[in-house]
Structure 1
Amino acid sequence: MEITTAAKTLLEHKGRDIWTIPPTATVYQAIQMMSERNIGALPVLDGTKLVGIISERDYMSKVVLKGKSSKDTPVSDIMARDLVTVGPDQTVSSCLEIITEHRIRHLPVVDGDELLGIVSIGDLVKWIIATQRMTIEQLNAYISGGYSA
Protein backbone atom coordinates (compact mmCIF):
# COMPACT_ATOMS: atom_id res chain seq x y z
CA MET A 1 0.00 0.00 0.00
CA GLU A 2 1.39 3.34 -1.02
CA ILE A 3 0.12 6.77 -1.87
CA THR A 4 1.73 6.23 -5.27
CA THR A 5 -0.63 3.31 -5.81
CA ALA A 6 -2.86 3.64 -8.87
CA ALA A 7 -6.58 4.35 -8.59
CA LYS A 8 -7.33 1.01 -10.30
CA THR A 9 -5.57 -0.81 -7.44
CA LEU A 10 -7.61 1.08 -4.87
CA LEU A 11 -10.79 0.13 -6.76
CA GLU A 12 -9.75 -3.54 -6.80
CA HIS A 13 -9.07 -3.37 -3.07
CA LYS A 14 -12.36 -1.71 -2.15
CA GLY A 15 -14.43 -3.76 -4.58
CA ARG A 16 -15.68 -3.08 -8.07
CA ASP A 17 -19.38 -2.76 -7.29
CA ILE A 18 -20.73 0.27 -9.12
CA TRP A 19 -24.28 1.41 -8.55
CA THR A 20 -25.57 3.82 -11.16
CA ILE A 21 -28.80 5.55 -12.05
CA PRO A 22 -30.20 6.85 -15.36
CA PRO A 23 -30.85 10.59 -15.82
CA THR A 24 -34.58 9.89 -16.22
CA ALA A 25 -34.93 8.39 -12.72
CA THR A 26 -36.43 10.56 -10.01
CA VAL A 27 -34.34 12.16 -7.32
CA TYR A 28 -36.38 10.12 -4.83
CA GLN A 29 -35.21 6.89 -6.51
CA ALA A 30 -31.61 8.11 -6.37
CA ILE A 31 -31.82 9.04 -2.69
CA GLN A 32 -33.50 5.72 -1.92
CA MET A 33 -30.70 3.81 -3.68
CA MET A 34 -27.99 5.83 -1.92
CA SER A 35 -29.65 5.12 1.43
CA GLU A 36 -29.97 1.37 0.73
CA ARG A 37 -26.33 1.12 -0.42
CA ASN A 38 -24.99 3.48 2.25
CA ILE A 39 -23.25 5.66 -0.34
CA GLY A 40 -23.15 9.42 -0.80
CA ALA A 41 -23.30 9.70 -4.59
CA LEU A 42 -24.36 7.88 -7.72
CA PRO A 43 -22.88 8.10 -11.20
CA VAL A 44 -25.55 8.98 -13.75
CA LEU A 45 -25.30 6.88 -16.90
CA ASP A 46 -27.15 7.44 -20.15
CA GLY A 47 -26.79 3.94 -21.53
CA THR A 48 -23.12 3.29 -20.82
CA LYS A 49 -22.01 6.94 -21.01
CA LEU A 50 -21.22 8.81 -17.81
CA VAL A 51 -23.22 12.05 -18.00
CA GLY A 52 -23.23 13.21 -14.39
CA ILE A 53 -23.18 12.48 -10.69
CA ILE A 54 -25.92 13.02 -8.14
CA SER A 55 -24.98 13.38 -4.51
CA GLU A 56 -26.69 13.89 -1.18
CA ARG A 57 -25.37 17.45 -1.32
CA ASP A 58 -27.13 18.01 -4.67
CA TYR A 59 -30.35 16.75 -3.12
CA MET A 60 -30.14 19.10 -0.16
CA SER A 61 -29.13 22.21 -2.08
CA LYS A 62 -31.13 21.74 -5.28
CA VAL A 63 -34.30 20.01 -4.08
CA VAL A 64 -34.92 20.41 -0.35
CA LEU A 65 -33.77 24.03 -0.06
CA LYS A 66 -35.64 25.03 -3.22
CA GLY A 67 -38.91 23.42 -2.16
CA LYS A 68 -39.00 20.92 -5.03
CA SER A 69 -40.46 17.44 -4.80
CA SER A 70 -37.94 14.60 -5.00
CA LYS A 71 -40.65 12.34 -6.44
CA ASP A 72 -41.32 14.74 -9.32
CA THR A 73 -37.78 15.94 -10.08
CA PRO A 74 -35.67 13.94 -12.52
CA VAL A 75 -32.04 13.28 -11.66
CA SER A 76 -31.03 15.13 -14.86
CA ASP A 77 -32.37 18.39 -13.38
CA ILE A 78 -30.00 18.46 -10.43
CA MET A 79 -27.00 16.23 -11.26
CA ALA A 80 -23.52 17.68 -11.55
CA ARG A 81 -22.59 17.71 -15.24
CA ASP A 82 -19.11 19.22 -15.33
CA LEU A 83 -17.33 16.17 -14.04
CA VAL A 84 -13.76 15.88 -12.96
CA THR A 85 -12.54 12.36 -13.73
CA VAL A 86 -9.27 10.48 -13.49
CA GLY A 87 -7.77 7.57 -15.36
CA PRO A 88 -6.99 4.20 -13.79
CA ASP A 89 -3.28 4.96 -13.47
CA GLN A 90 -3.75 8.19 -11.50
CA THR A 91 -2.07 7.87 -8.11
CA VAL A 92 -3.92 7.96 -4.81
CA SER A 93 -1.91 11.04 -3.90
CA SER A 94 -2.88 12.92 -7.07
CA CYS A 95 -6.53 11.84 -6.67
CA LEU A 96 -6.52 13.40 -3.21
CA GLU A 97 -4.99 16.59 -4.63
CA ILE A 98 -7.67 16.74 -7.35
CA ILE A 99 -10.50 16.21 -4.86
CA THR A 100 -9.09 18.92 -2.62
CA GLU A 101 -8.45 21.37 -5.47
CA HIS A 102 -11.93 20.97 -6.97
CA ARG A 103 -13.69 20.72 -3.60
CA ILE A 104 -15.50 17.52 -4.54
CA ARG A 105 -16.10 14.34 -2.58
CA HIS A 106 -16.42 11.73 -5.33
CA LEU A 107 -14.07 11.13 -8.24
CA PRO A 108 -15.06 8.87 -11.14
CA VAL A 109 -12.31 6.63 -12.48
CA VAL A 110 -12.71 6.14 -16.20
CA ASP A 111 -10.83 4.31 -18.90
CA GLY A 112 -11.80 5.95 -22.17
CA ASP A 113 -15.61 5.95 -22.04
CA GLU A 114 -15.84 3.13 -19.51
CA LEU A 115 -16.65 3.94 -15.88
CA LEU A 116 -14.43 1.73 -13.73
CA GLY A 117 -15.64 3.00 -10.39
CA ILE A 118 -15.67 5.94 -8.03
CA VAL A 119 -13.20 6.82 -5.32
CA SER A 120 -14.44 9.01 -2.52
CA ILE A 121 -12.47 11.26 -0.25
CA GLY A 122 -13.13 8.65 2.46
CA ASP A 123 -11.62 5.88 0.32
CA LEU A 124 -8.51 7.96 -0.29
CA VAL A 125 -8.05 8.95 3.35
CA LYS A 126 -8.51 5.32 4.49
CA TRP A 127 -5.89 4.22 1.95
CA ILE A 128 -3.40 6.83 3.13
CA ILE A 129 -3.97 5.97 6.80
CA ALA A 130 -3.49 2.26 6.06
CA THR A 131 -0.31 3.08 4.13
CA GLN A 132 1.06 5.13 7.01
CA ARG A 133 0.12 2.43 9.52
CA MET A 134 1.91 -0.22 7.44
CA THR A 135 5.02 1.98 7.14
CA ILE A 136 5.07 2.53 10.90
CA GLU A 137 4.73 -1.23 11.53
CA GLN A 138 7.56 -1.97 9.10
CA LEU A 139 9.79 0.63 10.72
CA ASN A 140 8.98 -0.75 14.19
CA ALA A 141 9.77 -4.28 13.01
CA TYR A 142 13.03 -3.09 11.47
CA ILE A 143 14.04 -1.21 14.60
CA SER A 144 13.04 -4.08 16.91
CA GLY A 145 14.68 -6.74 14.80
CA GLY A 146 17.74 -4.77 13.87
CA TYR A 147 18.70 -3.64 17.33
CA SER A 148 19.93 -5.95 20.02
CA ALA A 149 21.16 -4.94 23.45
Structure 2
Amino acid sequence: MGKVRNILEAKGRSVYSIHPDNTVFEALQMLVERNVGALTVVDNNDKFLGIFSERDYARRVILKGRASKETLIREIMTERPITVTEEDSIEECMKRMTDKRIRHLPVVNEQSRLIGLISIGDVVKFIIDDQRYIITSLECYISGTHT
Protein backbone atom coordinates (compact mmCIF):
# COMPACT_ATOMS: atom_id res chain seq x y z
CA MET A 1 0.00 0.00 0.00
CA GLY A 2 1.10 3.55 -0.65
CA LYS A 3 2.21 6.33 1.61
CA VAL A 4 1.00 9.87 2.28
CA ARG A 5 3.88 11.06 0.09
CA ASN A 6 2.18 9.36 -2.91
CA ILE A 7 -1.04 11.32 -2.37
CA LEU A 8 0.86 14.62 -2.04
CA GLU A 9 2.82 13.89 -5.22
CA ALA A 10 -0.45 13.36 -7.09
CA LYS A 11 -2.55 16.21 -5.68
CA GLY A 12 0.15 18.71 -4.79
CA ARG A 13 1.20 20.29 -1.55
CA SER A 14 -0.91 23.43 -1.69
CA VAL A 15 -2.67 24.08 1.59
CA TYR A 16 -5.33 26.70 2.11
CA SER A 17 -4.82 28.45 5.42
CA ILE A 18 -6.46 31.12 7.51
CA HIS A 19 -5.22 33.28 10.39
CA PRO A 20 -6.70 32.66 13.86
CA ASP A 21 -7.89 36.29 14.06
CA ASN A 22 -10.05 35.98 10.94
CA THR A 23 -13.76 35.52 11.46
CA VAL A 24 -15.65 32.30 10.91
CA PHE A 25 -17.58 34.08 8.16
CA GLU A 26 -14.33 34.83 6.30
CA ALA A 27 -13.30 31.19 6.69
CA LEU A 28 -16.63 30.00 5.32
CA GLN A 29 -16.21 32.27 2.31
CA MET A 30 -12.78 30.75 1.70
CA LEU A 31 -14.13 27.20 2.01
CA VAL A 32 -16.72 27.98 -0.66
CA GLU A 33 -14.27 29.80 -2.96
CA ARG A 34 -11.73 26.96 -2.75
CA ASN A 35 -14.35 24.18 -2.73
CA VAL A 36 -12.74 22.49 0.28
CA GLY A 37 -14.03 21.23 3.62
CA ALA A 38 -11.24 22.46 5.89
CA LEU A 39 -8.57 25.11 6.29
CA THR A 40 -5.39 24.93 8.29
CA VAL A 41 -4.90 27.69 10.83
CA VAL A 42 -1.49 29.38 10.83
CA ASP A 43 -0.07 32.46 12.53
CA ASN A 44 1.87 35.34 10.95
CA ASN A 45 5.03 33.19 10.95
CA ASP A 46 3.26 30.30 9.20
CA LYS A 47 3.32 28.28 12.41
CA PHE A 48 0.68 25.56 12.25
CA LEU A 49 -1.85 26.11 15.06
CA GLY A 50 -4.81 23.92 14.16
CA ILE A 51 -7.55 23.24 11.67
CA PHE A 52 -10.98 24.71 10.94
CA SER A 53 -13.56 22.49 9.28
CA GLU A 54 -17.20 22.49 8.35
CA ARG A 55 -17.71 20.24 11.37
CA ASP A 56 -16.20 22.89 13.68
CA TYR A 57 -18.64 25.40 12.22
CA ALA A 58 -21.65 23.15 12.70
CA ARG A 59 -20.78 22.07 16.23
CA ARG A 60 -19.18 25.18 17.70
CA VAL A 61 -20.97 28.02 15.96
CA ILE A 62 -24.40 27.06 14.62
CA LEU A 63 -25.40 24.67 17.41
CA LYS A 64 -24.12 27.11 20.05
CA GLY A 65 -26.06 30.03 18.59
CA ARG A 66 -22.94 32.06 17.82
CA ALA A 67 -22.61 34.61 15.02
CA SER A 68 -20.24 33.78 12.13
CA LYS A 69 -19.31 37.41 11.53
CA GLU A 70 -18.37 37.96 15.17
CA THR A 71 -16.72 34.68 16.12
CA LEU A 72 -12.98 34.35 15.54
CA ILE A 73 -11.38 31.20 14.19
CA ARG A 74 -9.17 30.96 17.29
CA GLU A 75 -12.30 30.53 19.41
CA ILE A 76 -13.61 27.46 17.62
CA MET A 77 -10.76 25.83 15.67
CA THR A 78 -9.54 22.35 16.50
CA GLU A 79 -6.21 22.80 18.25
CA ARG A 80 -3.58 20.05 18.13
CA PRO A 81 -5.33 17.99 15.45
CA ILE A 82 -4.15 14.50 14.64
CA THR A 83 -1.38 14.76 12.05
CA VAL A 84 0.54 12.42 9.77
CA THR A 85 3.91 12.46 8.04
CA GLU A 86 4.79 11.73 4.43
CA GLU A 87 5.99 8.28 5.46
CA ASP A 88 2.74 7.18 7.10
CA SER A 89 0.87 4.52 5.17
CA ILE A 90 -2.47 5.14 3.49
CA GLU A 91 -3.81 2.23 5.56
CA GLU A 92 -2.75 3.99 8.78
CA CYS A 93 -4.42 7.22 7.62
CA MET A 94 -7.67 5.37 6.91
CA LYS A 95 -7.51 3.75 10.35
CA ARG A 96 -6.91 7.09 12.12
CA MET A 97 -9.70 8.79 10.17
CA THR A 98 -12.12 5.96 10.92
CA ASP A 99 -11.19 5.56 14.59
CA LYS A 100 -11.28 9.30 15.33
CA ARG A 101 -14.17 10.07 12.95
CA ILE A 102 -12.24 12.82 11.17
CA ARG A 103 -12.06 13.74 7.50
CA HIS A 104 -8.83 15.74 7.25
CA LEU A 105 -5.25 15.03 8.26
CA PRO A 106 -2.61 17.76 8.22
CA VAL A 107 0.75 16.48 6.98
CA VAL A 108 3.79 17.71 8.89
CA ASN A 109 7.53 17.20 8.50
CA GLU A 110 10.09 16.24 11.17
CA GLN A 111 10.13 19.83 12.46
CA SER A 112 6.31 19.81 12.79
CA ARG A 113 6.01 22.27 9.89
CA LEU A 114 2.87 21.94 7.82
CA ILE A 115 3.62 20.53 4.35
CA GLY A 116 0.22 19.34 3.15
CA LEU A 117 -3.32 18.32 3.96
CA ILE A 118 -5.10 15.15 2.92
CA SER A 119 -8.80 14.40 3.08
CA ILE A 120 -10.79 11.20 3.27
CA GLY A 121 -11.60 11.79 -0.41
CA ASP A 122 -7.88 11.81 -1.25
CA VAL A 123 -7.38 8.55 0.63
CA VAL A 124 -10.35 6.83 -1.00
CA LYS A 125 -9.27 8.00 -4.46
CA PHE A 126 -5.77 6.63 -3.89
CA ILE A 127 -7.14 3.25 -2.77
CA ILE A 128 -9.50 3.02 -5.76
CA ASP A 129 -6.74 3.96 -8.23
CA ASP A 130 -4.36 1.48 -6.61
CA GLN A 131 -6.93 -1.33 -6.78
CA ARG A 132 -7.75 -0.46 -10.40
CA TYR A 133 -4.04 -0.75 -11.28
CA ILE A 134 -3.75 -4.14 -9.54
CA ILE A 135 -6.87 -5.47 -11.29
CA THR A 136 -5.65 -4.30 -14.70
CA SER A 137 -2.23 -5.84 -14.09
CA LEU A 138 -3.78 -9.16 -13.06
CA GLU A 139 -6.10 -9.17 -16.08
CA CYS A 140 -3.13 -8.59 -18.37
CA TYR A 141 -1.16 -11.33 -16.64
CA ILE A 142 -4.01 -13.84 -16.90
CA SER A 143 -4.70 -13.02 -20.55
CA GLY A 144 -1.00 -13.10 -21.38
CA THR A 145 -0.91 -9.51 -22.62
CA HIS A 146 1.44 -8.19 -19.95
CA THR A 147 4.75 -6.73 -21.03
Please give the range of the TM-score, normalised by the shorter of the 2 chains: over 0.9
Q: What is the CA RMSD across the aligned residues, in angstroms?
A: 1.1
Of residues 74, 78, 97 in structure 1, which corresponds to 2:72?
74
Q: Give the match's secondary structure for 2:18.
A: coil
The aligned residue for residue 87 of structure 2 is 89
Of residues 40, 44, 56 in structure 1, which corresponds to 2:41?
44
Between the two proteins, the alignment pairs up a number of residues equal to 143
The aligned residue for residue 137 of structure 1 is 136
Tell me, yes or no, if the aligned pair for 2:13 and 2:117 is still in contact at 8 Å.
no
The aligned residue for residue 24 of structure 2 is 27
> 2-side partners of 1:9 and 1:48: how far apart?
24
Deviation at 1:114, TM superposition (A): 1.5
Q: Give the match's secondary structure for 1:61.
A: helix
TM-score, L = length of structure 1: 0.92
Deviation at 1:101, TM superposition (A): 1.5
Deviation at 1:113, TM superposition (A): 2.5
Identity of aligned residues (%): 47
Q: Give the match's secondary structure for 2:106.
A: strand
TM-score, L = length of structure 2: 0.93
Deviation at 1:48, TM superposition (A): 1.6
